[in-house]
A and B are shown apart, each in its own frame.
Chain A
């Protein structure tokens, strides 16, 4: 956990002084590089890049059809930024080979001279999968060599009214949560209404912004001892893909 606090500390400090308004990627230094998004010059200044590398999906209840589909860019060589490999996860019923592919991808990225620091799971959580998800993350944590961190994404949920302090059960399993303030390509309209709850998270969290979207940082976010900075989801200019 100490390591997680240190990571991207620069992001935290450099992001604190930001003014409101449109998310200008050039003012940040941590990014998501998703599939179909062309790398942009801002990546040169990146300290941290979350790179989509695959999707694990299955037909629900039919484990014979788990597929680990490659996504995102090819393995680059010797990138200076810290790298998290991100995975879209649609099934939690991973086979041994799925874990093997994930670990092999991490290894291949490192062998290409990149500073791979962790794995980020982007799970399409159905409410019915909740307990399963926590168990899955614990399981993945166990299989992951100890020099990789484990992170997850999360969407601000405006309809639930539960207590964010209860997130605690994830501490010790995941090293960070990146809470997304957008859906699709746009910032969630009244995102600020949900920030008080986000700020009550008692585990390392980052705020996910979308390039060109809105962000007006309330002071209490940066005051949270758990806040670890921002990650900007890059998108192609002019909505092209």
Chain B
């Protein structure tokens, strides 16, 4: 089930520098952890988790059952290279990037796809209109007319024209009159006229008349009319059942569905299937029985019907794909569902996981251990799944990791399908919760060679990196034999966790990836310069490669020629080492950030639960430009030009929105006004005063 997640940021963001990816509140904000307690479609994980979209959990089960395959679509937007950190993690992933496929059907035959020419009507997938068959019905009718024995040729074309004239809109408030065609003399021809009349009544919503007219054809000598009328009677009954159940605003009240119609519809579909087991409409009839169960509120049989449809998904046995069934089950079975009615272990598990979400708007009722244990018998065919749910309860709800571990099997020695991987992942989470870090590390390392399915290895690398950082083994992340090779994970550790010395090792390691070397050098120099480690900064400039990348170049650039004059950052650091309050130099560090932006998330530390969010061996100082300007403004000894510039910049931090662009510190508007006046009064002749027309 999706949650509403919509977004406003674009209008504001469109004018941001391309470097401001970190502001992700309005969009998917990927995080460096695999444990989420609430619904997170932006942070999906490749194991059965309460936080996953219910469709993903079902799809993982169906992959194990051989019904689907799944991969992550990593195709990137043209011209856009996501920064090599959280936005490049493959686990967790945005559910939108998850790409399940029916192995039997290539994308081109996916009937749910809207650009498949086979989908000729203009109804959405799952749009409940009986009119959606009006188009296909035309083709079938034409073929039947051509095949009809004893039908004169000219009558055939009259009949086809008459059927073609039927372009119904089932939702319309009024229906146009339909006139039967003239000049049909043959007996079979008149039966076809009766059929068109019945179809017209069906689409126009005159169900009683439709049932009567179709009823005259059930003993027709024409085999198509005989079979089709049987099927159409069942469909008419099915459409008749909820007629009175749609209230104002089209809402369906299942309690108002006509149970007699529904029972008759079910009987009619079943008798059609009995008489025409291989009939032209057998697949459709079986599918429509799901609608009977849905309208009847019979969630027990609905879940069973989904299980059956999923297991019989081979070509021909179903007119919908496995992916469409996943979608349909999500809409018709899970929303809302009475868990007591569900006997299917698979769907019970999906529902229980939804109900384990923290603060779940979709939860029917908060799940208790007692509720869960009461389901035990219903899992008789899949006790391992039951134990998994009990264990998940202990991990996600009542925090009893030891009891979770007692429910879960030890690691098998074969490669892990998604369920086995889920079991072992729960063990990892339980060990972590109970601080059995050595056991956790051992398990993660043992799982790695068995993790062959998509995204499993990426998850293990992330969990291992979190563990290594948390237990003070950051150096192991970068050890030669380290299994943590994912570039995004290594970059995050470089950005947030590694010590200065470890960063130097990364830079010097000839085997290290170039992008990670860049991240390490940037991190080292940025944290040193903004953290007041001026001597180390000067020394580490020696690590700069002869042809630095774009983000590194500003650290070694010569003095800036236009606007505010700054010497090189080496000179800035030398001056500050001598005099930490040198106004021009403080301004020039501000210029680095103002002109070039901050690369990586240096000043935006992730949540403490996530990779990089705690246990840093080299924490960033939380630099803000405003801090520097405040120091200069406060310093009466500051050179006139430097102080004027600091005032000018500090005022402009609030331009033009009235919100500071220079750090979290909030400055009252009255102070900004004072700065503005000070700039004009004390430094009225400076170019900074002259170019300062407003304050915000």
Does chain A bind chain B?
yes
A residues contacting B by CB (< 8 A) are: 33-36, 38-39, 43-44, 49, 51, 53-55, 57, 59-79, 88, 90, 95-98, 100-101, 103-105, 107-109, 111-113, 122-134, 153-167, 169-170, 177, 179-180, 183-185, 196-197, 200, 239-241
Of the residues B77, B122, B331, B657, contact of A162 by C-beta under 8 Å: B657
Of the residues B16, B249, B336, B660, contact of A43 by C-beta under 8 Å: B249
Known pairs A39-B247, A70-B126, A166-B14; list 10 more (Cβ under 8 Å). A61-B73, A62-B107, A67-B113, A69-B327, A71-B331, A101-B114, A126-B28, A153-B7, A160-B26, A241-B364
Choose among A53, A64, A129 the residue with the greatest number of B CB atoms under 10 Å from its CB: A64
Closest to A80 in B: B248
* Stretch binding the partner chain, chosen from B167-175, B209-217, B297-305: B167-175
**Within the assembled complex, what's the spacing in Å between the Cα atoms of A36 and B334?**
11
A160 and B16 in contact, given A111-B169, A184-B361 (Cβ under 8 angstroms): yes
In the complex, the answer to whether A128 meets B335 with C-beta atoms within 8 Å is no
A96 and B115 in contact, given A62-B99, A75-B171 (Cβ under 8 angstroms): yes
In the complex, the answer to whether B114 meets A127 with C-beta atoms within 8 Å is no
Closest to B125 in A: A69
For the complex of A and B, list the 7 residue pairs with the smallest distance between their C-beta atoms, beginning with the closest.
A154-B8, A61-B75, A73-B250, A95-B115, A70-B127, A104-B122, A113-B173
In the complex, the answer to whether A126 meets B27 with C-beta atoms within 8 Å is yes
In the complex, the answer to whether A111 meets B172 with C-beta atoms within 8 Å is yes
A57 and B4 in contact, given A101-B124, A161-B659, A184-B361 (Cβ under 8 angstroms): no
Minimum C-beta distance from A241 to chain B (A): 5
In the complex, the answer to whether A78 meets B173 with C-beta atoms within 8 Å is yes
Residues of A contacting B82 with CB < 8 Å? 128
**Within the assembled complex, what's the spacing in Å between the Cα atoms of A17 and B122?**
44
Query: Within 8 Å of chain A (Cβ to Cβ): is B21?
Result: yes
Residues of A contacting B12 with CB < 8 Å? 157, 160, 162-164, 166-167, 197
In the complex, the answer to whether B5 meets A124 with C-beta atoms within 8 Å is yes
Minimum C-beta distance from B108 to chain A (A): 6
Residues of B contacting A163 with CB < 8 Å? 12, 15, 656-657
In the complex, the answer to whether B113 meets A153 with C-beta atoms within 8 Å is no
Of the residues B8, B73, B249, B361, contact of A179 by C-beta under 8 Å: B8
In the complex, the answer to whether B25 meets A158 with C-beta atoms within 8 Å is yes
Closest to A78 in B: B173
**Within the assembled complex, what's the spacing in Å between the Cα atoms of A97 and B115?**
6
In the complex, the answer to whether B249 meets A73 with C-beta atoms within 8 Å is yes
Of the residues A36, A100, A127, contact of B336 by C-beta under 8 Å: A36
In the complex, the answer to whether B8 meets A153 with C-beta atoms within 8 Å is yes
**Within the assembled complex, what's the spacing in Å between the Cα atoms of A196 and B656?**
13
Residues of A contacting B172 with CB < 8 Å? 108, 111-112
Within 8 A of A (CB), among B66-114: 73, 75-77, 80, 82, 96-99, 107-108, 110, 112-114
For chain A, what secondary structure do more than half of its interface residues adopt (helix, strand, loop), or is it mixed? mixed
**Within the assembled complex, what's the spacing in Å between the Cα atoms of A96 and B336?**
33
Within 8 A of A (CB), among B1-48: 2-16, 20-21, 23-28
In the complex, the answer to whether A128 meets B77 with C-beta atoms within 8 Å is yes
Please give the number of chain B residues whose Cβ is less than 8 angstroms from any Cβ of chain A in the complex: 74
17 A-B interface contacts by CB (under 8 A): A39-B247, A51-B249, A66-B114, A67-B125, A67-B327, A71-B331, A72-B250, A73-B250, A75-B129, A77-B173, A88-B2, A111-B171, A124-B27, A153-B8, A166-B12, A180-B6, A183-B5
**Within the assembled complex, what's the spacing in Å between the Cα atoms of A38 and B253?**
9
Of the residues A71, A105, A134, A165, contact of B14 by C-beta under 8 Å: A134
Query: Within 8 Å of chain A (Cβ to Cβ): is B128?
Result: yes
In the complex, the answer to whether B5 meets A160 with C-beta atoms within 8 Å is no
In the complex, the answer to whether B173 meets A164 with C-beta atoms within 8 Å is no
Closest to A97 in B: B114
Of the residues A65, A104, A112, contact of B123 by C-beta under 8 Å: A104
In the complex, the answer to whether A64 meets B115 with C-beta atoms within 8 Å is yes
Minimum C-beta distance from A128 to chain B (A): 5
Query: Within 8 Å of chain A (Cβ to Cβ): is B658?
Result: yes
Contact with A along B42-73 (1 / 0, CB 8 A): 00000000000000000000000000000001
In the complex, the answer to whether A157 meets B25 with C-beta atoms within 8 Å is yes
Residues of B contacting A51 with CB < 8 Å? 249
Within 8 A of A (CB), among B326-362: 327, 331, 335-336, 359, 361-362
A125 and B249 in contact, given A64-B107, A70-B124, A160-B16 (Cβ under 8 angstroms): no
In the complex, the answer to whether B8 meets A155 with C-beta atoms within 8 Å is yes
In the complex, the answer to whether B13 meets A157 with C-beta atoms within 8 Å is yes
In the complex, the answer to whether B248 meets A43 with C-beta atoms within 8 Å is yes
A161 and B660 in contact, given A33-B249, A153-B8, A155-B6 (Cβ under 8 angstroms): yes
Query: Within 8 Å of chain A (Cβ to Cβ): is B246?
Result: yes
Residues of A contacting B119 with CB < 8 Å? 97
In the complex, the answer to whether B9 meets A160 with C-beta atoms within 8 Å is yes
Residues of B contacting A124 with CB < 8 Å? 5-7, 27-28, 96
Closest to B362 in A: A241
Query: Within 8 Å of chain A (Cβ to Cβ): is B374?
Result: no
Query: Within 8 Å of chain A (Cβ to Cβ): is B166?
Result: no
Of the residues B9, B15, B126, B361, contact of A69 by C-beta under 8 Å: B126
Residues of B contacting A38 with CB < 8 Å? 251
Residues of B contacting A153 with CB < 8 Å? 6-8
Of the residues A90, A103, A122, A177, contact of B96 by C-beta under 8 Å: A90
Residues of A contacting B113 with CB < 8 Å? 64-67
Minimum C-beta distance from A76 to chain B (A): 4
Within 8 A of A (CB), among B112-148: 112-115, 119, 122-129
Query: Within 8 Å of chain A (Cβ to Cβ): is B661?
Result: yes
Choose among A101, A165, A185 the residue with the greatest number of B CB atoms under 10 Å from its CB: A101
Closest to A49 in B: B249
In the complex, the answer to whether A123 meets B246 with C-beta atoms within 8 Å is no
Residues of B contacting A155 with CB < 8 Å? 6-9, 26
